Amino acid sequence: MSREELLRELDRCQKCRFCIDQCPVYSYIDNAEYLAPYGRIQSMRYMLKGSYTVNDNLLYYIYTCLICAGCEIVCREAGESLEVSKLIRRSRTILSDALLRGEVEGTESSVLSYLLSSIVNNIRRVGDPLGLDKPYWLNWALSINVPKKGSTIILTSRMYQMAPYLPQITKLVDQARGMVSSKLLRKIITKASGLGLKISELRLKREIVNRSERILQGIYLSLTKLGLNPSFLYEDEPYSGALLYDLGLDDPLVEHSKKVYRLLKERDVKTVITVDPHTFFMLKQVYPSIIDGFDIEVRHYIEVLSSNIDVISKWNKLGGRYVIHDPCTMARDLGVIEEPRKVIEGLGIDLVEPEDKGIETKCCGGPIEYAYPKLSKKIALERLKRLSKFHSKIVSYCPICWINLGSYEEELNLEVRDLGELLYEVFFKTK
């Protein structure tokens, strides 16, 4: 979409403001219109028309959007059907380019430009945004001997394995915001973004790392019980580039996705089974729009399980009650709503539906945690408050939701479980 097309789309906004209450950032934070879809759209319009320059405020309005598409439902009902997430993402391509070229002055812009450039560098250097010094994503597979070769693979995209590192790394980013010296700020952001950061320097919570491994093992074991034995690429396991997509880093995204596709073809991969909503979305919808002739079958493990519900219903019953949290990408972008319910109920769980469910689910706040941890925490706490009105045990199926909501489970005396953990319990009964 060209700049002119973007402006034409933004101009379609009727300023009716029907969408503003739907936005978690607006409604959970401080009811400031510039943080609502309407406000973000108008700010970008003014910038493109030349009456507003790129400054720290504009960056804050555009980069605090969760790209959750919650507002689009209301805009559609209002008869306008603006694809707000897509427009914000396209706006970010313009702003991210300017930030990477160092063209914007200000603290916010320094934090963002250092963050963006280190994300791009880390992905080029070690294949994922964390940029850590060791392959931290293998343990779950080594201990259950997942095969190395085969035309059907399980693609974790390192997502569940990255999750335990995020709270510490984002804490470092947040500290950098108070820095007035650009040299010091660069030093902290560089450290926070993983360049030169050693795994041994991070004080990880062992239990969270163990849980992330059990999630993947639970998913994998459930596939084997259906007669599937997907292989895993171990050291070569690629990251999908989902963060590049969300941040509008289009050139690095094209470069990275072509590299991933080349790798999959070299390894003769015919079918990929994904385990998280973001990788599923990237491979199902984004890669085919970038790569001509993309010809790899892409599935999600929940789809696979739900199409074998007759087998699942014969597995051990877990029992218990959980309220379901639909991840935005899964429900709104991919339309996968009934399948997880079928699988969870097939495990003998009594599922409770919250008020904001399915296509009307609310974001966990995770997509902005990398740059705005305080804002992200407020959104997570509000989401937890709403879910806990229905039950104190919450189940979801996304690594970002799991870590972002789960970070506060002790504080709020709640339980946040990933479906993978429940599957693990079916086979190992640890709880």
Q: How far is the CB of 15 from ligand SF4 (least distance, A)?
A: 5
β partners of residue 394: 323, 416
Q: How far is the CB of 94 from ligand SF4 (least distance, A)?
A: 17
Q: How far is the CB of 19 from ligand SF4 (least distance, A)?
A: 3
Closest CB to ligand SF4 among residues 92, 191: 92
Closest CB to ligand SF4 among residues 21, 201: 21
Q: How far is the CB of 26 from ligand SF4 (least distance, A)?
A: 7
Q: Which of 110, 108, 106, 91 is nearest to 46 (CA)?
A: 91
Alpha helices in 315-372, H assignment, sequence order: 328, 338-346
Joined tokens for residue 239:
């990251």
Q: How far is the CB of 89 from ligand SF4 (least distance, A)?
A: 9
Distant-in-sequence, close-in-space partners of 381: CB < 8 Å, separation ≥ 6: 408, 412
E-strand ranges in 139-235 read 152-155
Residue 138 DSSP SS3: coil
Closest CB to ligand SF4 among residues 21, 297: 21
Q: How far is the CB of 73 from ligand SF4 (least distance, A)?
A: 9
- Binding-site ranges for ligand SF4 (CB under 6 A): 13-19, 22-23, 25, 37-38, 40-41, 65-71, 74-75, 78, 80, 82, 84-85, 88
Closest CB to ligand SF4 among residues 29, 291: 29
Closest CB to ligand SF4 among residues 215, 363: 363
What is the crossing angle of helices 56-63 and 107-126, to 10°? Answer: 50
Q: How far is the CB of 411 from ligand SF4 (least distance, A)?
A: 24
- Cβ pair 39, 33 in contact under 8 A: yes
Nearest-angstrom CA–CA distance, 387 and 383 = 6
Q: How far is the CB of 172 from ligand SF4 (least distance, A)?
A: 24
Closest CB to ligand SF4 among residues 94, 199: 94
Distant-in-sequence, close-in-space partners of 4: CB < 8 Å, separation ≥ 6: none
Closest CB to ligand SF4 among residues 365, 399: 365
- CA 150, 153, 156: angle at the middle one, nearest 5? 150
Nearest-angstrom CA–CA distance, 294 and 287 = 7
Joined tokens for residue 276:
């998280």
- CA 304, 306, 310: angle at the middle one, nearest 5? 110
- Cβ pair 415, 393 in contact under 8 A: yes
Closest CB to ligand SF4 among residues 197, 400: 400
